[in-house]
């Protein structure tokens, strides 16, 4: 009996340890040097590229004055639609900072790290800071950023009574002369303002008021992201529209025909002589 056990052990030893497969090498890509290259780059997922006709990233970023050598803070990137563009475009000459919602506050607040943030070319090029106003607002060193960008977030801060704290933090992070770019779902100007923005829409007047109270000066407005088809009277608010389709297949064709929401696109500046806050 002992002899049989020893023989079996000998045979197993001769067979050697189980072979482990060598993981397939991760394909890497050259970093873009122009905004056009960033928009067309393989860092972007196909489903995100399909939304360009609604979100107009080239026109929007050109309007804000984005340059490749800037330090840019994107506020609440969540799934990373703009992260795919900004992180790769800024990776060579500039700096990209994602002021992201902590997972403890919102589980999907850092989803971008699972996709673009995991790319070997970019994972060391992305700085992540915590942003959960009104308490966590230290998004960067004071006076260090050239540009702060926020896309479709203001209504969330309004619902949490944190909008002014958010805008104050942007002002603090920017250098004098720095730019704040805001894209937000636009409420009808004549409609009574909802301080909680429950339907997801905010008036331009309210956004301008928040920015100016923080110390910003309005530089320009653009209709790049306007959508006159959006009636803004949907039962589930802006979330009835694509890409959310909150009601599923109910009236889906109708909402698809409207497209994404009507949006304001506002450019603010922190005055060169601005006092520190």
Contact status, residue 131 vs residue 167, Cβ threshold 8 Å: no
Q: How far is C-alpha 107 from the geometric centre of its chain's CA atoms?
A: 15
For helices 163-173 and 204-214, the axis angle rounded to 10 degrees is: 50
Confidence of residue 104 (pLDDT cuts 50, 70, 90): confident
Asked whether residue 223 is assigned to any structural domain, the reply reads: yes
Asked whether residue 106 is assigned to any structural domain, the reply reads: yes
Asked whether residue 207 is assigned to any structural domain, the reply reads: yes
Asked whether residue 276 is assigned to any structural domain, the reply reads: no
Q: Flag whether pLDDT at 225 surpasses 70.
A: yes
User: What's the confidence (pLDDT) of residue 28?
Assistant: 83
pLDDT tens column, 131-173: 999 999 999 999 999 999 999 999 999 999 999 999 999 999 9
Alpha helices, H only, 175-276: 204-214, 252-258
The residue among 64, 127, 121, 66 whose CA lies nearest residue 92 is 121
Asked whether residue 220 is assigned to any structural domain, the reply reads: yes
Residue 235's CB is within 10 A of a number of other CB atoms, namely: 11
SS3 content of the chain, % helix, strand, coil (to 5): 30, 20, 50
Q: Which two tokens stand for residue 80?
A: 């990373």
Q: Which two tokens stand for residue 165?
A: 């704290």
Q: Flag whether pLDDT at 75 surpasses 90.
A: yes
Asked whether residue 54 is assigned to any structural domain, the reply reads: yes
Q: How far apart are the first and last CA of the chain?
A: 84
Residue length, the chain?
A: 277
Confidence of residue 107 (pLDDT cuts 50, 70, 90): confident
Asked whether residue 69 is assigned to any structural domain, the reply reads: yes
Q: Where are the beta strands (DSSP E) in the chain?
A: 71-75, 95-100, 126-130, 145-151, 174-185, 217-222, 263-269
Widest Cα–Cα separation across the chain:
93
Residue 252's CB is within 10 A of a number of other CB atoms, namely: 13
Q: Which two tokens stand for residue 272?
A: 């060169």
Q: Flag whether pLDDT at 89 surpasses 60.
A: yes
Q: How far is C-alpha 186 from the geometric centre of its chain's CA atoms?
A: 18
Asked whether residue 19 is assigned to any structural domain, the reply reads: no
What is d(CA 96, CA 73) in angstroms, rounded to the nearest whole number? 6
CATH number for the domain harbouring residue 219: 3.40.50.150
Q: How many domains does the chain contain in total?
A: 1
Q: What proportion of the chain, given as a percentage, has pLDDT over 90?
A: 82
**Full domain range(s) for residue 40:** 31-230+262-269
């Amino acid at each position: 009996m002992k002899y049989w056990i020893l023989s079996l052990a000998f045979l197993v030893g001769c067979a050697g340890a189980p072979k482990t497969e060598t993981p397939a090498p991760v394909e890497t890509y050259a970093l873009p040097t122009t905004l056009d290259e960033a928009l067309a780059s393989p860092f972007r997922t196909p489903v995100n590229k399909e939304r360009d006709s609604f979100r107009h990233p080239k026109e929007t970023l050109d309007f804000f004055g984005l340059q490749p050598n800037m330090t840019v803070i994107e506020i609440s990137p969540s799934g990373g639609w703009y992260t795919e563009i900004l992180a790769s475009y800024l990776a060579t000459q500039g700096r990209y900072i994602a002021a992201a919602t902590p997972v403890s506050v919102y589980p999907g607040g850092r989803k971008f790290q699972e996709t673009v943030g995991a790319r070997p070319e970019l994972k060391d090029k992305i700085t992540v800071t915590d942003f959960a106003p009104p308490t966590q607002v230290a998004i960067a060193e004071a006076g260090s950023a050239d540009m702060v960008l926020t896309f479709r977030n203001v209504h969330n801060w309004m619902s949490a009574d944190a909008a002014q704290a958010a805008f104050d933090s942007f002002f603090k992070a920017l250098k004098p002369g720095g730019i704040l770019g805001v894209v937000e779902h636009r409420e009808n100007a004549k409609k009574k303002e909802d301080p909680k923005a429950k339907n997801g829409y905010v008036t331009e007047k309210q956004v301008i008021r928040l920015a100016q109270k923080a110390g910003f000066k309005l530089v320009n407005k653009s209709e790049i992201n306007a959508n006159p088809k959006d009636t803004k009277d949907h039962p589930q608010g802006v979330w009835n529209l694509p890409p959310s389709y909150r009601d599923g297949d109910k009236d889906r064709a109708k909402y698809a025909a409207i497209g994404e929401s009507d949006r304001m696109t506002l450019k603010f500046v922190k005055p060169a002589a601005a006092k520190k806050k």
